[in-house]
Chains A and B, each alone.
Chain A
Amino acid sequence: MEATLDRLVAYSFPLARVSGWICGLLLTVSAFLIGLDIALRQIFVVTLGGANELSGYALAVSSSWGCTVALVHRMHVRIDSVYTHLSARVRALLDMVGLAGFIYFLAFVTFYAWKVLEQSIESNTHSISALGAPLAIPQAVWFAGFVIFLLVASIYLLRAMLAFAKGDLRRVRELLGARSVEEEMEFERESLGLAARGDK
Chain B
Amino acid sequence: MTLVAILVLIVILVLAIPVAAGLGWLGLVLNQLYSPISLIVTTGEVTWSTTTSFILVAVPFYVLMGEIMLRTGMAERMYGAIAQWFSWLPGGLMHSNVVACAVWGAPSGSSVATAVTVGTVAMGEIKKHNYNERLFLGTIAAGGTLGILIPPSINMVVYGAMTDTSIPKLYLAGFTPGLVLSLLFMATVLIACLWRPAWGGTPVVTSWGERIRTLPGLLPPLVILAAVIGSIYIGWATATEAAALGILAAFAYAAYERSLSWKVIGEIFEGTARTTGMIMAIVIGAYFLNVVITTIGLPNQIGTLVKSLDLSPLGTLMLIIVFYIILGMFMETLSMMVATIPITTPIVVAAGYDPVWYGILVVLLMEAALLTPPVGMNLFVVQGIRERGDLNDVIIGTAPFIITLFVMIGLIVAFPGIAMWLPNLLN
Contact = CB atoms under 8 A, between A and B. Distances in A.
A182 B278 contact: no
Interface of B: prevailing SS: helix
A59 B269 contact: no
Given A78-B16, A81-B330, A198-B385, A34 B244 contact: yes
A105 B328 CA distance: 26
A198 B270 contact: no
A98 B274 CA distance: 19
A178 interface: yes
Given A64-B51, A108-B43, A21 B269 contact: yes
Interface residues of B, number: 92
Given A34-B244, A97-B15, A70 B120 contact: no
Given A109-B47, A112-B44, A139-B48, A181 B272 contact: no
29 contacts: A17-B266, A23-B277, A27-B272, A28-B251, A34-B241, A37-B241, A53-B54, A55-B57, A63-B280, A63-B283, A65-B273, A65-B277, A77-B278, A77-B332, A79-B13, A79-B330, A79-B335, A81-B13, A82-B16, A98-B17, A109-B44, A111-B44, A112-B44, A112-B45, A113-B47, A178-B16, A181-B383, A191-B71, A197-B124
Contacts of A194: 116-117, 120
B19 A75 contact: no
Given A62-B276, A142-B48, A196-B387, A38 B237 contact: yes
A189 B274 contact: no
Contacts of A166: none
A199 B274 CA distance: 31
A73 interface: yes
A62 B277 contact: yes
B172 interface: no
A197 B41 contact: no
Interface stretch (B20-28, B214-222, B307-315, B398-406): B20-28
A147 interface: no
A3 interface: no
A62 to B, nearest CB: 5
B334 A112 contact: no
Given A31-B61, A31-B64, A38-B237, A62 B273 contact: yes
Contact of A116 (B48, B245, B270, B383): B48
Contacts of A126: none
Nearest to B248: A35
B381 interface: yes
A67 B269 contact: no
A134 B90 CA distance: 63
A79 B332 contact: yes
A25 interface: yes
Interface in A177-193: 178, 181-182, 184-185, 188-189, 191-193
A42 interface: yes
Given A24-B64, A30-B57, A63-B276, 17 more contacts: A23-B272, A27-B60, A38-B231, A52-B241, A62-B276, A63-B51, A63-B284, A69-B274, A69-B277, A75-B274, A78-B17, A104-B21, A105-B24, A178-B16, A185-B380, A192-B117, A197-B120
A32 to B, nearest CB: 7
A115 interface: yes
A119 B18 CA distance: 31
B370 to A, nearest CB: 13
Contacts of B375: 79-81
Contacts of A113: 43-44, 47-48
A69 B57 contact: no
The CB with the most chain A CB atoms within 10 A, among B116, B127, B388, is that of: B116
Contacts of B61: 27, 31
A24 B16 contact: no
B412 interface: no
A45 B207 CA distance: 49
B169 interface: no
A59 B335 contact: no
A94 interface: yes
A77 B19 contact: yes
Contacts of A104: 21, 25
Contacts of A198: 123-124, 385-388
B384 A182 contact: yes
A115 B73 CA distance: 46
A77 B338 CA distance: 13
Interface hub of B12, B281, B334 (most chain A Cβ within 10 A): B281
B275 A75 contact: yes
Nearest to B250: A31
A164 interface: no
Given A24-B272, A75-B275, A188-B112, A57 B388 contact: no
